[in-house]
Amino acid sequence: MTISSVLEQAANSVVVVSTSKPPATEVVEALLESEKNARTNKLSYSFEQLIGNWRLCFITGTKKTRAKAGIVLGAGR
């Protein structure tokens, strides 16, 4: 699965409350790879491109819950 398809499937599973969710490890890998690509390609968006309805669908937990889950991410914001 490609990065964008994993992230799209994860987002769609929240929006339409689907049971077809990608594994958490794939979502984490896709997010980390996407962030790395954004930094190396110096992506930027205009204000107009970001206008719309936003919904937070992915956050990380405390250090303790992240350790239990085995997900290697920093603090969520």
The full set of domain ranges for the chain reads: 3-69
Beta-carbon contacts of residue 22 (< 8 Å; ≥ 6 apart)? 1, 6, 9, 10, 13, 30
Tell me the CB-side half-sphere exposure of residue 30, using CA atoms within 13 A.
18
Q: Indicate the DSSP class of residue 41.
A: T
pLDDT(73) > 70: no
Q: How confident is the model at residue 69 (pLDDT cuts 50, 70, 90)?
A: low
Q: What is the pLDDT of residue 44?
A: 74
Burial, 48: exposed, middle or buried (Cβ in 10 Å; 0-12, 13-18, 19+)?
exposed
Tell me the CB-side half-sphere exposure of residue 72, using CA atoms within 13 A.
5
Q: How confident is the model at residue 77 (pLDDT cuts 50, 70, 90)?
A: very low
pTM: 0.58
